[in-house]
């Protein structure tokens, strides 16, 4: 597998209520590092964000963080990353993270994670990118969301093609393999993200 593959991970800045969430973040970071890949994430040192970054670094991955200045002032930025980019706005943060990514993967998280997931999914639907998107679950955290999305499809607000744009699973290693297998062909050049 390519050592240049870059995975953008969205996840909680909190630990969550169950140890399984932290374990999932650590396993994911380790698996990214073991593959010689790069992690792109929101640049924080707390919660699942910090766990996935620390595990990836420990396993030899290059880790790029992107964080708004307002959060850096709260001292939540991770000081030990390969690169830490401090930007002015959340829009700049998300754009830079997306530009550095070959795939997107959401772990358990809160409203920020949900917003990021749905945004890159919308961008994919609108053909602003053709990169794979995954939803990595633990303790059935996203079961209710998947049920709701299926209901939305049944009610005519989502298409089956849109549903197929999201890969859903519970194990980091098979998920990473699936994202890599579905990577965007080099010849495809959709509109740049800065035109969104």
* pLDDT of 195: 56
Rounded to the nearest 10 degrees, the angle between the axes of helix 19-34 and helix 172-181 is 50
Does the pLDDT value for residue 67 go beyond 90? Answer: yes
187 — pLDDT class (breaks 50, 70, 90): very low
Residues 6+ apart with CB under 8 A from 100: 6, 8, 38, 40, 64, 66
Does the pLDDT value for residue 5 go beyond 80? Answer: yes
Query: What domains lie within the chain, and their CATH numbers?
Result: 6-184 (3.40.50.450)
* Section 123-139 average pLDDT: 96
Q: In degrees rounded to 5, what are phi and psi of residue 4?
A: -90, 0
Does the pLDDT value for residue 30 go beyond 60? Answer: yes
How much is the mean pLDDT over the chain? 93
Q: Residues 9, 31: contact at Cβ < 8 Å? A: no
Pairing verdict, β 166-169 and 133-136: parallel
The token pair at 66 is 């992107």
Does the pLDDT value for residue 124 go beyond 70? Answer: yes
Closest C-alpha among 140, 95, 123 to residue 184: 123
72 — pLDDT class (breaks 50, 70, 90): confident
pTM of the model: 0.93
Taking the C-alpha atoms of residue 4 and residue 118, their distance in angstroms, rounded to an integer, is: 25
């Amino acid at each position: 597998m390519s050592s240049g593959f870059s995975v953008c991970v969205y996840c909680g800045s909190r630990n969550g209520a169950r140890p399984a969430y932290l374990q999932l973040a650590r396993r994911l970071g380790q698996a990214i590092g073991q593959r010689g890949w790069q992690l792109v994430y929101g640049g924080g040192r707390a919660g699942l964000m910090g766990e996935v970054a620390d595990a990836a670094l420990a396993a030899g991955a290059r880790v790029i963080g992107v964080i708004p200045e307002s959060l850096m002032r709260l001292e939540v930025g991770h000081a030990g990353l390969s690169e830490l980019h401090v930007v002015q706005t959340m829009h700049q943060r998300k754009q830079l993270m997306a530009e550095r990514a070959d795939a997107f993967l959401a772990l358990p998280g809160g409203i920020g994670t949900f917003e990021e997931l749905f945004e890159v999914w919308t961008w994919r639907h609108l053909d602003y990118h053709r990169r794979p998107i995954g939803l990595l679950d633990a303790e059935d955290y996203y079961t209710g969301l998947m049920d709701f999305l299926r209901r939305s499809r049944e009610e005519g607000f989502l298409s089956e093609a849109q549903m197929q744009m999201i890969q859903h699973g519970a194990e980091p290693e098979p998920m990473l393999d699936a994202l890599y297998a579905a990577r965007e062909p080099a010849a495809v050049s959709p509109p740049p993200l800065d035109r969104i």
